[in-house]
Amino acid sequence: MSASLLPPDSAAAHRSGDLLADSPQLRDMPGLPQARMLVEYIIGRRLRELDVSGRDAAGAFIDVEAAAEAPRRIIVLDDAKGVQTALLRSLAEVVVHHDRIDESRTAASLSDVPELADLGEPESAHFADGRAPSAGEGNPETWAVINAPKATNALAESIAALQARVSTIIVIGRSDSMSRAVNKELARGFARVDVSPGVGKHRMIIGSRPLSSPSLPSFPKHGVITHPNVGDLEVRAHGACFSGVKSDEGSTLLLDALIETLSGADDVTGTAAEPDSVLDLGCGNGWLLTAAMRATGAARGTGVDVSEAAVASARATAEANGVDVDIILGDAADTEDPAVAALGEFALVVLNPPFHQGTTIETDTAEALMATAAAHLAPGGRVITVFNTHLRYRDRLETIIGPSEQLGRNTKFTVVSSGGGICGTSAD
């Protein structure tokens, strides 16, 4: 694949090179190749050296006025390291939206740009006269850049939120992860979909010419999860929420183990057989927390997640089932997160930690979540953790939380209980 969209001696190539040279601090940062590709594309379009697909525009008709205004504003979604934002703000007004608050904080440390509180109503996507564009009209001066997510539903929801407010959406990612599903989702809202040349390991898929009658999906999605011991639970999930409206296998095994433990609790000592409070660190769509509340009869429940999509999903799931819980947007892997520090103590903590950061396997987040669980565990309480068996977390749970025992296991997952007893009364 080519090392650049632009011919080496072109005016756009020289201008792109100068912009990159002005930001030497970004040279070795992850995410720079994609950011550089975006810079080349925008400058190449403006100088009429590239067409809409990112190819040589020689011989193609390009509207001079439109090229000069392409774009004045850029909405950037999920720029995990903030490198795209840092470079693009030299070319246009930039506003950003991150689903994950940890990524938002990382990006903010590099580029202090406005963060959209609500992706559905971006403040920058209005015409020059202040009028909001109607469906399919788009804003000719505003583009959006979406960093390709792993989940097609996450992409679909982002496109649906932006389609009426922009003239162009660029989905950028590694070539090997850019499936035809990206083309399909863009085609729901745009009359033209182009695939750029590959640059290094990266590629763009570009939607332009917004449709006046798009066929866009609606969110959150609705579903039902049935469990033999807790019955039917309504589930709601936004696009970026892990597992969507389905019950993931690990959480199901954890719930099975919890219910079996509760049914075997010893009441002889007078200790309550059921915990009075439940904390779910990384609550996702809220199904596990809602099911645990129903199974235990706990009076107080709290879910925490780093993802805005997960928090909105968990709140909707709990509400749909008439379960009163607090759902908090917070980074439970960050000991300095004020929302997490204020949680208090809980008799039961359930934990299904992630082990992927993008496509990379990592265990640091899981260890940080274990430490947070230990910090918010009431005396005599228990942490019940499910994890992929090959990760062998039991020793770490012993070290970080306390004595641990295996509660369940199948071919893929292991459930371990750590700490005091499953029973207990939490401190407020």
Identify the structural domains of the chain with CATH numbers, from first to last.
Answer: 11-210 (3.40.50.150), 221-419 (3.40.50.150)
**What residue spans of 61-179 are helical by DSSP H?**
64-68, 83-88, 101-110, 152-162
**CB-based contact 315:321 (threshold 8 Å):** no
pLDDT of residue 133: 47
pLDDT of residue 266: 52
| Segments of the chain scoring below 70 in pLDDT | 1, 59, 63-69, 117-138, 265-273, 355-362, 421-428
Token pair of 358, please? 């993008």
pLDDT of residue 297: 95
Place of tokens 């925008």: 42
State how far the Cα of 34 lies from the Cα of 358, in Å rounded to an integer.
15
Question: Number of H helices and number of E strands within the chain?
Answer: 13, 17
pLDDT of residue 242: 86
State how far the Cα of 245 lies from the Cα of 238, in Å rounded to an integer.
9
Place of tokens 């407010």: 165
pLDDT of residue 137: 56
State how far the Cα of 315 lies from the Cα of 319, in Å rounded to an integer.
6
Exposure string over 386-412, b if 16+ CB within 10 A, otherwise e: bbeeeeebbebbeebbeebeebbeeee
Its pTM stands at: 0.88
How do residues 94-127 score in pLDDT, each as one tens digit?
Answer: 999 999 999 998 888 887 777 776 665 444 444 3
State how far the Cα of 357 lies from the Cα of 419, in Å rounded to an integer.
28
The alpha carbon of residue 335 and the mean position of all alpha carbons in its chain are separated, in whole angstroms, by 20
pLDDT of residue 273: 59
pLDDT of residue 65: 61
Q: How far is CA 195 from CA 61, 201, 202, 204, 340, in A?
A: 19, 14, 11, 6, 43
**CB-based contact 288:255 (threshold 8 Å):** yes
